[in-house]
Structure 1
Amino acid sequence: MVAIIKTSHSINSILNYNENKVKAGKAECLNAVNYPLKLEKLSFNLKLNRFLKLAALNENAKRNSVHISLNFDPSEKYSKEKLIEIADTYMDKIGFGKQPYLVYQHHDAGHPHLHVVTNNIQRDGKRIDLHLLGIRKSEPARKEIEELFGLVKAEGRKTKEQYSLQPIVSRSIEYGKAESKKAINGVLNKVLFEYKYSNLPELNAVLNLYNVHADRGTEDSRVFKNNGLLYKILDKDSKPIGVPIKASDFYNKPTLKFLEEKFKANEIKKQSHKSHLKNTIRLALLDKQLNSPEKLATKLQKEGVHVVLRKSKEGQLYGITYVDHKTQSVFNGSSLGKEFSAKGILESCALNITHQKSILAASETTQNLELQNHLKINTMAVLLQAENTNDHVPKDLKQKKKKRNSRRI
């Protein structure tokens, strides 16, 4: 199970998002907890007012709304009763068991998942601390629930076994329509909240794997000047196609301002994964057959690291980015150190080429020496054979031996 927690200052927008899904037939409200009325008697206003009354008890709280998604493996098909039990157990373990909350089951993704809507203002006006809620409360709760309910564990699974995203197939998208927005949103929901990137190029290194690109536009464009951001679908040649969608049009509002906050937080989070990636690259470079950045990329791919090679129009490599899927961290080569930058990798490949040439030259020298020795041995054998052979003398030149008279006297 994977739990994703988002906070907001507007409970209205969170509730509207889920209720609109219900109206469209893409979701179902499974449970209403700590409400005075049963679920079937709750209208939209009754659901909303319960949260608003609590929020009014503490107007100093800047973020008083919480939106949680609980994501399961595609193989897990649970009954509504079990999903409700899992949600209740999770909310209790993270300290929200006494808060009012609504549980929705969504049906518009490739994996089963729940959405839980609540707030963090308690009856006495005190707020539940949201700082590091994911690390302090959610992660321990997730692990306990996986054991308790026998769920597929989020940790320890191979990347290909996870409910991983598939690249958007451009042919199936109707550009600018709901299908296009839905496809991009599915990618953003996973990448933005699960990967650790610290700038826009690093984010795009991951998004591009799924045929999505975040674009600020040219420096003289209105989008760039207004600090705007567009999301585009890429074709098989990595070229933008269709109608781009503004970041503000998505529910999560993945705007430039939102990303800049992520950049700062992720810069700190991903530092602990630096050594793992550096060691993986160093081990790969021990293979002296790696004589090009492309061969390195192929080898690292087998280790769960995707390598983005940035080249000029002339084909000259000028930048390199590593996407480590095992730790879900993204690093520009130069931030890891000189040896991992584009220049450093080219130098390592050049050394490998020199090494291969020296081996080849040594091999040729050895072969030549062996050939020379072979020729010398053969020559000596011929000479020795010639010395031990009697010269041929014609028969008529041979002197006849005189026969001795053997008669007795």
Structure 2
Amino acid sequence: MVAVIHQGSSLREAVNYNERKVERQVAVLLDAGYYPKDPEDLTFKQRLARLENRAKLNQRVKVNHFHVSLNFAPGEHIAKEDLKQIAALYLDKIGFANQPYLLYEHNDSGHPHLHVVSTTIRADGSSINLHNIGRNQSSKARREIENQFGLIKADGRKGQSFELKPVNLQKVEYGKSDTKRAISNVLSSVLESYRYTSLPELNAVLKQYNIMADGGMEDSRIYRNQGLVYYALDANGNRAGASIKASDFHFRPTLKFLQNQFAAGETDRLKHRAKLKNSIDLILVRGQGQSLEDLMLSLEKEGVKVVLRKSPTGLVYGITYVDHRTKCVFNGSVLGKEYSAKGILDRIGQKNTALQTTAKKLDKKQSSEASDIKLQESVGSFASFDFNANPESNKSSDPLLEDLFTPLSDDSLTPWQLRKSRRKKRKKNISQ
């Protein structure tokens, strides 16, 4: 099971998102916890009013709502009553006991999943602290529920793991809701569960699912306004279809949201650095990394994806490690110089020859051509020199030839005393 906590601006927005799914018949209201009526007897206004009235008990709190999706592995068939119990138990374990909530079951993706909407305001007006709830209370609750209900574990300890599948563009029509839904499914699971510190690091993960995040060029309007868009990639990694603004997704994966994730990822991933470094070192010590390709394949078998950054001419100038075991992303230089692109290439004894070979050939060719030109110029000037002519007529504009044929003065046979320059005597002032 994978729990993904969604960001949003209001209770109404979170409820509306799920209700629209119900209208499109791709979701059903499965339960209404701590409501006075059964879910099927509640109108939309009643569903929303119960949560909003509770939230009004403390209007000083900015984030007064809670929206989480509980995702199960493809192929897992869970009874409706068990789904209700799982949702209720999850809320109790993360500190939402006795809180009113709406439980929706969605069937619009390749795996079964639930959405739960609740409020952070308790009956006495106090609020529930959401800080790090995903990494602390939620992770613990998820593991306990997996054991209790025999679910496929998110960390794959049973030999199975729940993985998101890349967006398959062959099944998507560009510009329609299918594309947006497919991207949304990946973002909702990746953004909260992986630890990254920059947009390029996040893209190292998203690209594996044929998705890219783009903050625009420095002179673009989207960059000036601190905007962010997401778009799909085709099988060759090229942009395909229209981009979708971050604000168009219900959980709003905007640049502001990502900046908070960047800051959290900076500290959260530190404890996992040693594990990744040990994996790389062990492969190299065993001799399994005879080449860069061998190292990448060996790491991939252990659950680490290596993403290379190359110049247009094929020069490898950067390396990023996506550790799916710990869900952490590291640039090579962050791990240390020996784990950077240059450091890895040096350690496996493989030269980064893509540009070096070309550069050496060009330098050799240019040097050879330059030498030939100088030799031809010198020979040409030398051939036109008339040894029998008047010396004045042989004056050349080529300083090289002038230096070559100008006699050198040799003072080596002159006594040192005679070569020494005399000091000028100072005239004494005669006082009169």
TM-score range (shorter-chain normalised) is 0.7 to 0.9
Shift in Å, 1:152:
2.3
Shift in Å, 1:183:
1.4
The amino acid of 1:75's aligned partner reads G
The amino acid of 1:70's aligned partner reads L
Q: Find out whether 1:197 has 2:196 as its counterpart.
A: yes
- Which residue in the other structure is 1:151 paired with? 151
The amino acid of 2:63's aligned partner reads R
Q: Find out whether 1:184 has 2:183 as its counterpart.
A: yes
- Which residue in the other structure is 1:285 paired with? 284
Aligned residue for 1:163, secondary structure, equals coil
Shift in Å, 1:92:
2.2
Shift in Å, 1:205:
0.5
Number of equivalenced pairs: 352
- Which residue in the other structure is 2:97 paired with? 97
Shift in Å, 1:150:
2.4
The amino acid of 2:181's aligned partner reads K
Q: 2: distance between equivalents of 1:128 and 1:230?
A: 32
Q: Which moved more, 1:138-147 or 1:32-41?
A: 138-147
- Which residue in the other structure is 1:6 paired with? 6
Structure 1-normalised TM-score? 0.82
Shift in Å, 1:41:
2.0
Shift in Å, 1:319:
0.4
Unaligned stretches of 5+ residues in structure 2: 353-432
- Which residue in the other structure is 2:255 paired with? 256
Shift in Å, 1:135:
4.0
The amino acid of 1:286's aligned partner reads V
- Which residue in the other structure is 1:75 paired with? 75
Q: 2: distance between equivalents of 1:12 and 1:206?
A: 31
Structure 2-normalised TM-score? 0.78
Aligned residue for 2:68, secondary structure, equals strand
- Which residue in the other structure is 2:33 paired with? 33
Q: 2: distance between equivalents of 1:289 and 1:156?
A: 25
- Which residue in the other structure is 2:395 paired with? none
Alignment of 1:315-394 (within 5 A): 315-350=314-349
Aligned residue for 1:126, secondary structure, equals coil
Shift in Å, 1:143:
2.5
Change (3 A) 1:288 1:94: closer
Q: 1: distance between equivalents of 2:275 and 2:61?
A: 39
Q: 2: distance between equivalents of 1:139 and 1:289?
A: 35
- Which residue in the other structure is 2:161 paired with? 162
Alignment of 1:66-145 (within 5 A): 66-145=66-145
Change (3 A) 1:98 1:288: closer
The amino acid of 1:192's aligned partner reads L
Q: Which moved more, 1:319-328 or 1:187-196?
A: 187-196
Deviations 1:344-372 (A, max 9, x none): 0121122799xxxxxxxxxxxxxxxxxxx
Confirm or deny: 8 A CA contact 2:6 2:188 kept in the other structure. Answer: no
Confirm or deny: 8 A CA contact 1:35 1:50 kept in the other structure. Answer: yes
Shift in Å, 1:96:
1.8
Deviations 1:234-256 (A, max 9, x none): 11221111111111111111111
Q: 2: distance between equivalents of 1:95 and 1:225?
A: 40
Shift in Å, 1:8:
4.2
Shift in Å, 1:154:
2.5
- Which residue in the other structure is 2:312 paired with? 313
Q: 1: distance between equivalents of 2:140 and 2:193?
A: 17
- Which residue in the other structure is 2:241 paired with? 242
Shift in Å, 1:291:
4.1
Runs of 4+ in 1 over 6 A off after TM superposition: none
Q: 2: distance between equivalents of 1:152 and 1:132?
A: 24
Q: 1: distance between equivalents of 2:260 and 2:293?
A: 34
The amino acid of 1:35's aligned partner reads Y
- Which residue in the other structure is 1:374 paired with? none
Q: 2: distance between equivalents of 1:155 and 1:235?
A: 29
Change (3 A) 1:321 1:136: closer
Q: Which moved more, 1:67-76 or 1:4-13?
A: 4-13
Root mean square deviation of aligned Cα: 1.9
Confirm or deny: 8 A CA contact 2:7 2:251 kept in the other structure. Answer: no
Confirm or deny: 8 A CA contact 2:155 2:325 kept in the other structure. Answer: no
Deviations 1:64-109 (A, max 9, x none): 1001211222232122112112212222222322111111111012
- Which residue in the other structure is 2:23 paired with? 23
Change (3 A) 1:146 1:290: closer
Deviations 1:220-272 (A, max 9, x none): 21111211111111112211111111111111111111111110011111111
Shift in Å, 1:7:
5.0
Percentage of identical aligned residues? 51
Confirm or deny: 8 A CA contact 1:8 1:64 kept in the other structure. Answer: no
Q: 2: distance between equivalents of 1:174 and 1:115?
A: 26
Shift in Å, 1:163:
2.4
Deviations 1:98-136 (A, max 9, x none): 111111111012111111110011121111222232344
Deviations 1:143-164 (A, max 9, x none): 33223222222234378x3221
Confirm or deny: 8 A CA contact 1:9 1:64 kept in the other structure. Answer: no
Q: 2: distance between equivalents of 1:296 and 1:195?
A: 23
The amino acid of 1:78's aligned partner reads I
Confirm or deny: 8 A CA contact 1:5 1:68 kept in the other structure. Answer: yes
